[in-house]
């Protein structure tokens, strides 16, 4: 899938003082060691100059969350899950990502998160690479579904064991887009302690869950209007009375292009059975958008405002990754989401029948 990778996290105060004693092997004398907030570029919480591979950092912590530790003039950065306490960091300058931080329970949870979920992330990346290279097959879809099931089960267990730790909402916020099951995540969130729910990542996750309710199955689809390639406005409501698949995609999105043949096949099979597709492109280059429509033989309505991830329809539906789709019934109610591969045709067969090949 293609993800929106840059977003600004909200600020929720959880102030306190922190102190870090550091001993990093191979750290040159007079290196500038700094703690910075990756979500707020330029925000330096503390800095110190190293001597004999050691340093002391003191500062105010706005939130218990992940921060960068950097060692200038090197461009290497590590991640530390800081707490408002006295902590000790150690390691090797040539293995910044493996720095050890003691005295911070959140960081211990973060290390456990990395160890438990790294195999899932690796497998997900491998499946995505295979899909980009060879296309989406039934076998690949089955592997993907099994991966998501295993990931979800592992995440539930991880959260159950850490209901009183801020790493629990951090974990869910990290994988929510992949799991695509806000109901499951919300059930887990409701078991967290009040302090964890009110934490930085707790509040961030609560906001993401609220966003996920937009476009939820069973809700009425939000209407929108956007221009087609000829500049003519097309509204979602103009398709009322039909089953319509709203497909969020882009010419630059490899997984989207790999999925397009499945959409073409489904459209051809069911277009005479009160079904159509409405493509919403997150392109920002009109020529590439139009070329992809032609190359992929997308014979249905297409709209875009050419604003990339700032596409107004995508923003309205809180789209954070593509491909993504919504199946809307003739009354304008969302009845399914993210139907890919054979799942789309299976759903349409269920709704519209497949007798006579669907034409």
Q: Tell me the pLDDT tens digit for each residue of 128-148.
A: 888 878 877 888 889 989 999
In a domain, 286, yes or no: yes
10 and 43 in contact (C-beta within 8 Å)? Answer: no
Residue 293 shares a structural domain with residue 325: yes
Among 3-7, 33-37, 232-236, 249-253, the range scoring the smallest mean pLDDT is 3-7
Residue 235 shares a structural domain with residue 354: yes
27 and 71 in contact (C-beta within 8 Å)? Answer: yes
48 and 56 in contact (C-beta within 8 Å)? Answer: yes
Alpha carbon 222 to its chain centroid, in Å, reads 22
Among 38-42, 133-137, 214-218, the range scoring the smallest mean pLDDT is 133-137
Residue 46 shares a structural domain with residue 90: yes
pLDDT at 14 over 70: no
In a domain, 199, yes or no: yes
Residue 194 shares a structural domain with residue 135: yes
Question: Of 53, 77, 103, which residue sits at a domain end?
Answer: 103
User: Rounded distance, CA 36 to CA 236, Å?
Assistant: 44
User: Rounded distance, CA 155 to CA 175, Å?
Assistant: 9
What per-residue confidence (pLDDT) applies to 104? 96
pLDDT at 6 over 70: no
User: Rounded distance, CA 88 to CA 136, Å?
Assistant: 47
pLDDT at 177 over 90: no
Residue 41: pLDDT band (50, 70, 90) is confident
List, in order, residues 6 or more apart from 282 with CB less than 8 Å away.
248, 249, 250, 253, 304, 307, 308, 309, 311, 314, 319, 322
DSSP H or E segment with residue 324: strand 324-328
Residue 237 shares a structural domain with residue 341: yes
Tell me phi and psi for residue 200, to 5 degrees.
-55, -55
Residue 229 shares a structural domain with residue 343: yes
Residue 7: pLDDT band (50, 70, 90) is very low
| Mean pLDDT (whole number) for 308-334 | 95
DSSP code string of 258-316: HHHHHHHHHHHHHTTTTEEEEEEE--S-HHHHHHHHHHTT--SEEE--S-GGG-HHHHH
Q: What is the tens place of the pLDDT at every residue in 274-297?
A: 999 999 999 999 999 999 999 999
What per-residue confidence (pLDDT) applies to 1? 58
Task: Kindly report the average pLDDT of the chain as a whole number.
Answer: 92
Residue 202 shares a structural domain with residue 303: no
Residue 32: pLDDT band (50, 70, 90) is very high
CATH classification of the domain holding 69: 2.60.40.1120
Question: Of 103, 121, 148, which residue sits at a domain end?
Answer: 103
List, in order, residues 6 or more apart from 186 with CB less than 8 Å away.
209
CB neighbours of residue 68 within 10 Å: 15
What per-residue confidence (pLDDT) applies to 2? 62
User: Rounded distance, CA 59 to CA 33, Å?
Assistant: 13
Residue 99 shares a structural domain with residue 111: no
Residue 48 shares a structural domain with residue 78: yes
pLDDT above 90 as % of the chain: 79
pLDDT at 269 over 60: yes
Alpha carbon 351 to its chain centroid, in Å, reads 30
In a domain, 78, yes or no: yes
In a domain, 136, yes or no: yes
Range of the domain at 111: 106-212
Residue 3: pLDDT band (50, 70, 90) is low
pLDDT at 89 over 70: yes
Strand stretches in 50-138, DSSP E: 54-61, 66-72, 77-81, 86-92, 100-102
List, in order, residues 6 or more apart from 277 with CB less than 8 Å away.
244, 245, 247, 263, 266, 267, 298, 300, 301
Alpha carbon 201 to its chain centroid, in Å, reads 15
Residue 184 shares a structural domain with residue 308: no
In a domain, 353, yes or no: yes
DSSP H or E segment with residue 249: strand 243-249
Q: How far is CA 251 from CA 261, 298, 340, in A?
A: 14, 12, 18
Burial degree of 189 (CB within 10 A; 0-12, 13-18, 19+): buried
Long-range contacts of 139-146 (CB under 8 A, 24+ apart): 140/341, 141/340, 141/341, 141/342, 141/343
Residue 340 shares a structural domain with residue 242: yes
In a domain, 220, yes or no: no
Question: Of 212, 241, 261, which residue sits at a domain end?
Answer: 212
Q: What is the tens place of the pLDDT at every residue in 99-116?
A: 999 999 999 999 999 999
In a domain, 218, yes or no: no
Q: Work out how many domains the chain is built from and give that number.
A: 3
CA-atom Rg of the chain in angstroms: 24
Residue 321: pLDDT band (50, 70, 90) is confident
Residue 254 shares a structural domain with residue 318: yes
DSSP H or E segment with residue 32: strand 32-36
pLDDT at 357 over 60: no
pTM, whole model, 2 decimals?
0.73
CATH classification of the domain holding 292: 3.40.30.10
In a domain, 217, yes or no: no
Q: What is the tens place of the pLDDT at every residue in 56-73?
A: 999 999 899 999 999 999
Q: How far is CA 214 from CA 209, 211, 222, 248, in A?
A: 9, 6, 8, 15
């Amino acid at each position: 899938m293609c993800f929106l990778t840059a977003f600004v996290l909200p600020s929720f105060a959880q102030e306190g003082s922190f102190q870090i004693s550091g001993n990093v092997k191979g750290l040159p004398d007079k290196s500038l060691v700094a703690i910075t907030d990756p979500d707020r570029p330029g925000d330096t919480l503390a800095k110190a100059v190293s001597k004999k591979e050691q340093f002391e950092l003191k500062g105010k912590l706005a939130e218990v969350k992940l921060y960068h530790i950097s060692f200038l003039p090197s461009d290497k950065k590590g991640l530390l899950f800081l707490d408002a306490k006295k902590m000790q960091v150690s390691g090797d300058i040539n293995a910044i990502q493996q720095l050890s931080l003691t005295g911070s329970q959140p960081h211990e949870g973060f290390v456990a998160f990395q160890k438990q979920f790294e195999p899932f992330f690796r497998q997900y990346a491998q499946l995505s690479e295979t899909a980009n290279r060879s296309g989406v097959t039934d076998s690949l879809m089955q592997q993907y579904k099994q991966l998501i099931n295993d990931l979800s089960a592992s995440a539930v267990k991880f959260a159950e064991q850490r209901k009183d730790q801020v790493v629990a909402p951090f974990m869910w916020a990290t994988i929510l887009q992949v799991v695509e099951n806000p109901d499951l995540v919300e059930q887990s969130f409701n078991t967290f302690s009040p302090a964890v729910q009110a934490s930085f990542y707790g509040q961030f996750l609560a906001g993401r869950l609220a966003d996920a309710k937009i476009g939820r199955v069973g809700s009425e689809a939000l209407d929108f209007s956007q221009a087609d390639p000829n500049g003519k406005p097309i509204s979602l409501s103009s398709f009322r009375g039909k089953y319509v698949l709203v497909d969020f995609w882009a010419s630059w999105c490899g997984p989207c292009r790999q999925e397009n043949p499945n959409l073409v096949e489904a459209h051809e099979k069911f277009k005479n059975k009160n079904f159509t597709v409405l493509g919403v492109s997150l392109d920002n280059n009109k020529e590439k958008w139009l070329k992809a429509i032609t190359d992929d033989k997308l014979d249905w309505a297409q709209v875009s405002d050419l604003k990339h991830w700032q596409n107004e329809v995508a923003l309205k539906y809180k789209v954070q990754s593509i491909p993504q789709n919504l199946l809307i019934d003739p009354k304008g109610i969302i009845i399914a989401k993210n139907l890919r591969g054979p799942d789309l045709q299976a759903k349409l067969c269920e709704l519209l029948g497949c007798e006579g090949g669907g034409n």
